[in-house]
C-alpha cells in the first residue's frame, strides 16, 4: 500500500501519515496538497492523507476544492493531530529579516507575529517543513513549523507554542478511490440546495426528524455565480444505516447536487 502526503519530511502531514500508516505501507511525499490528491486521482498511489480543517483557521480550501473537483475519491478515515507551532532559526540569537511558513501556519500565528515581528516580512511557502528547509539554509531567517523539524533540519528554538489558542488541532483525512467496507460512525457529504426559499432549513429539518446529528456544516462557493454555495456536512452515522439511507433519499429532493464523500 502506498500513501501520499505533503512533504518534505517534518511537516504536520508527515506526522499524521506516520501516525496512520501500517508497518509495511510505503509513504511518498509531494510538494503541494493539490499534487497529493492529483496523484491519487491518477492512480500513482493507493491512498493519501491531507489536512481538511484546523481549529483556528478553519477549512483547508485546497483540499475542499479538490474533493469538489474529483468525484471518484472517498474519505475512508480521519486522523486528528495536535498542532504546536514553533519559531525556529539556524542560530537562536540572530536578527530575523524574514519568516517562512505555510499560509495556514502564518494565519494561526498572526497575533504572535503582529506583537513580536510586526515589521518582519512573512513569506508563505508550500509547507511548514519546506519553510524549515529554507530557514536552515539562509542566515537571518526563521520558520514556523513542527518540533520534528528541529532535528531534521538542525534548527534552534526561538519561541514555542506561538499559535493563537493553546489547544490547536488539525483534522487530516485519508482519501482513497475505494469506499470503506467496514462499519463506521461518521459520514461526510456535499450538497447544493435548490434555489428555493428555506431549502437549507428543510434539509436540516429532515436530518433533525431522523435524529441525525450534524457535527459540521461549512459552505464553499459553487463556482457558478456570487451567492451560490455547496455545503460540506458531517453527520453521526454510517451511510449504510437504514435511517441514514431514508433521510438521504428525501434530502436529495431538495438538492441540485448531492454526493456522499464517504463513511469512516
Question: Distance between CA atoms of 196 and 169, rounded to whole angstroms?
Answer: 37
Is 139 near a second copy (CB under 8 A)?
no
Question: Distance between CA atoms of 78 and 169, rounded to whole angstroms?
Answer: 13
Indicate the burial class of 96 (C-beta count within 10 angstroms; 0-12, 13-18, 19 or more).
Answer: middle
Pick from 24, 42, 151, 167: which binds a second copy (CB under 8 A)? 167
Site for a second copy in 223-252 (CB under 8 A): 223-229
Is 97 near a second copy (CB under 8 A)?
no
Bridge partners (DSSP) listed for residue 255? 193
Site for a second copy in 18-47 (CB under 8 A): 34
Number of residues that bind a second copy (CB under 8 A): 45
Is 110 near a second copy (CB under 8 A)?
yes
Q: Please, what is the end-to-end C-alpha distance for the chain in angstroms? A: 19
CA nearest 212: which of 263, 256, 175, 171? 263
Q: How far is the CB of 23 from a second copy (least distance, A)?
A: 29
Q: What is the CA radius of gyration of the chain?
A: 20
Report the residue number, 110 or 194, with the smaller CB distance to a second copy: 110
- The DSSP string of 33-80 is HHHHHHHHHTTSSSEEEEEEEETTTEE-HHHHHHHHH-TT-EEEEEEE
Select from 10-18, 40-48, 204-212, 256-264 the region that touches a second copy (CB under 8 A). 204-212
Q: How far is the CB of 92 from a second copy (least distance, A)?
A: 28
Cell triple for 213: 446529528
Is 198 near a second copy (CB under 8 A)?
yes
Pick from 36, 45, 60, 107: which binds a second copy (CB under 8 A)? 107
CB atoms within 10 A of CB 162: 19
Pick from 80, 161, 178, 249: which binds a second copy (CB under 8 A)? 80
Report the residue number, 202 or 259, with the smaller CB distance to a second copy: 202
Report the residue number, 1 or 217, with the smaller CB distance to a second copy: 217
Contact between 216 and 234 (Cβ < 8 Å): yes
Helix, strand and coil content of the chain, in percent to the nearest 5, comes to 30, 35, 35
Pick from 94, 96, 147, 204: which binds a second copy (CB under 8 A)? 204
| Contact residues: a second copy, CB under 8 A | 34, 53-58, 61, 65, 80, 103, 107, 110, 114, 124, 164-165, 167, 169-171, 197-198, 200-201, 204-205, 207-208, 213-221, 223-229
Amino acid at each position: 500500500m502506498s500513501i501520499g502526503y505533503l512533504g518534505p519530511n517534518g511537516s504536520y502531514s508527515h506526522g499524521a501519515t506516520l501516525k496512520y500508516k501500517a508497518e509495511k505501507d510505503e509513504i511518498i511525499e509531494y510538494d503541494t496538497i493539490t499534487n497529493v490528491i492529483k496523484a491519487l486521482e491518477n492512480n500513482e498511489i493507493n491512498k493519501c492523507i491531507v489536512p481538511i480543517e484546523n481549529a483556528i483557521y478553519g477549512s483547508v480550501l485546497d483540499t475542499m476544492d479538490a474533493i469538489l473537483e474529483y468525484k471518484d475519491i472517498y474519505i475512508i478515515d480521519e486522523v486528528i493531530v495536535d498542532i504546536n507551532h514553533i519559531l525556529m532559526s539556524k542560530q537562536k540569537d540572530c536578527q530575523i529579516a524574514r519568516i517562512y511558513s505555510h499560509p495556514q501556519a502564518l494565519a494561526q500565528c498572526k497575533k504572535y507575529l503582529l506583537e513580536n515581528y510586526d515589521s518582519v516580512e512573512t513569506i508563505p511557502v508550500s509547507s511548514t517543513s519546506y519553510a524549515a528547509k529554507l530557514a536552515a539554509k539562509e542566515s537571518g531567517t526563521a520558520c514556523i513549523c513542527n518540533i520534528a523539524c528541529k532535528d531534521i533540519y538542525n534548527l534552534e528554538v526561538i519561541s514555542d507554542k506561538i499559535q493563537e489558542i493553546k489547544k490547536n488541532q488539525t483534522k487530516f483525512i485519508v482519501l482513497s478511490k475505494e469506499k470503506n467496507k467496514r462499519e463506521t460512525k461518521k459520514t461526510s457529504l456535499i450538497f447544493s440546495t435548490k434555489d428555493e426559499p428555506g431549502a437549507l432549513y428543510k434539509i436540516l429539518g429532515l436530518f433533525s426528524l431522523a435524529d441525525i446529528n450534524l457535527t459540521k456544516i461549512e459552505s464553499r462557493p459553487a463556482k457558478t455565480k456570487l451567492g451560490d454555495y455547496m455545503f460540506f456536512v458531517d453527520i453521526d452515522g454510517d451511510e449504510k444505516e437504514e435511517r441514514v439511507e431514508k433521510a438521504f433519499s428525501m434530502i436529495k429532493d431538495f438538492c441540485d447536487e448531492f454526493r456522499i464523500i464517504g463513511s469512516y
